[in-house]
Amino acid sequence: MEKRRIIIWTTNIDQLILEKGAVGGLTVQMYFWAKTFIQNGWSCYSFSKKQKQKLEDINFINYFEYRYINIIINFFYTPYIILKIKPNVILLRGAGRSLFLVQLFAWLIKCKIVFFAASDLDFTLKHPEQRLYDRIMFKWALKRNSYFVVQNEFQQTLLDKKVLDKKSIVIPNIWLTQSMVKNVSTKYKDCILWVGNFRELKRPMWFIELASKNPDYSFVMIGSATDRELFKQCAEEANKMPNLYFLGRQSFNYVNGLFKQAKFFVCTSEVEGFPNTFLQAWSNSVPVISTVDPSNVIKMNHLGYIVNNQEELIEFLLKRTDKEYRNLQTNIDHYFYKNHEAQSAYNKLIELIS
């Protein structure tokens, strides 16, 4: 019997596996889903900007990218890939023109398309980081898609307002417990950790201010230079402080190792869907201090602390007790393995598209 085929419509999973280049949370989740489909007997395909190859049973196809004419190349390349592989399912994540192009041609083989939300902003249809023409194409495709996976109930509400009568289910980000880990220096043990792309909505300066007001604690900051000026500013400020290690971009494996050393993980974002960093923390029994709480999961399950402003964040570390911390770790262990196990999420997704 021929295997079912799925295309994970994204690039850079190969770079994650090989520990090369910068990869974000979207890539990590797509890697986990690829591995989960493979474990359930599917043939899995994805794209590489480097070379055609096979890694960890994922078949990587060359992705052609040319400045200025990329959309034209993709217009012809998309139907070629769909007709060549003939996937049963295509899985995409995050707002972008790819959904438009796939939606335009998938009818040729009656392929099912599952759109995974990456952020609450995906359903506002006014994504601040999208070009106008990308936004128009994404909006057209979104309203014609049939299957949606959202990260939280708020995203489901946004989807219902913008796109009516569509099938959607809530599946928080998944996590593979056997994910890759690299050993890191013990000098970071019991650190307070910040991980994210450097851009304004992540508010990294809040974390730097937190470190400056708490000199008795050790802080570590990691992330890629999405906004180069902000990245440079944060690096300069951090390097003035003896209790703050600014490590810049690091591999997924290395970041996993740091989470094993951390005491707390701090999220200072204005908006999030369901961050992978939360799962990295909770998979290591590390409580989260956050300015956002997707579906109130932190508050309801007592997995950390929610702060409403910068002042509360700065004052927080002065208030905690060891007993509270141990209770949080117990809650985290119970919650994590009940809610983010990959196989149960896969079963829910298959039920949706069946």
Per-residue pLDDT at 221: 97
With respect to residue 63, please indicate whether it lies within any of the assigned structural domains: yes
Within 8 A by CB and 6+ apart from 341, the residues are 174, 175
pTM value is 0.77
With respect to residue 181, please indicate whether it lies within any of the assigned structural domains: no
Q: How does pLDDT run across 179-197, given as a tens digit for each residue?
A: 667 778 889 999 999 999 9
Tell me the average confidence (pLDDT) per consecutive run of 10 residues in the chain, 354 residues long.
90 89 81 96 95 94 76 86 95 87 90 88 67 79 88 82 74 78 84 94 95 93 93 95 94 89 94 85 93 90 92 77 89 89 92 91
Q: How does pLDDT run across 197-247, given as a tens digit for each residue?
A: 999 999 999 999 999 999 999 999 999 888 999 999 999 999 999 999 999
Q: Looking at the structure, do residues 209 and 244 belong to the same domain, yes or no? A: yes
Other C-beta atoms within 10 Å of 354: how many? 6
Q: Looking at the structure, do residues 165 and 58 belong to the same domain, yes or no? A: yes
Q: Looking at the structure, do residues 205 and 143 belong to the same domain, yes or no? A: no
Q: Looking at the structure, do residues 10 and 129 belong to the same domain, yes or no? A: yes
Q: Looking at the structure, do residues 102 and 48 belong to the same domain, yes or no? A: yes
With respect to residue 67, please indicate whether it lies within any of the assigned structural domains: yes
Return d(Cα 28, Cα 252) in angstroms, integer: 8
Q: Looking at the structure, do residues 141 and 160 belong to the same domain, yes or no? A: yes
How many domains in the chain? 2
Within 8 A by CB and 6+ apart from 320, the residues are none
Q: Looking at the structure, do residues 27 and 120 belong to the same domain, yes or no? A: yes
Q: Looking at the structure, do residues 12 and 128 belong to the same domain, yes or no? A: yes
Q: Looking at the structure, do residues 166 and 250 belong to the same domain, yes or no? A: no
Q: What is the C-alpha end-to-end distance of the chain, expressed in Å?
A: 19
Percent of residues in the chain assigned helix, strand, coil, to nearest 5:
45, 20, 35
Q: Looking at the structure, do residues 162 and 227 belong to the same domain, yes or no? A: no
Return d(Cα 183, Cα 333) in angstroms, integer: 22
Q: Looking at the structure, do residues 333 and 196 belong to the same domain, yes or no? A: yes
Per-residue pLDDT at 117: 87
Query: What tokens appear for 169 in the block?
Result: 């289910």
Pairing of the two strands 58-62 and 53-55: antiparallel
Q: Looking at the structure, do residues 245 and 145 belong to the same domain, yes or no? A: no
**CATH (domain of 72):** 3.40.50.2000
Per-residue pLDDT at 80: 93
Query: What tokens appear for 212 in the block?
Result: 């400056």
R_g (Cα) of the chain, nearest Å:
21
What domain range includes position 152?
A: 5-176+341-353
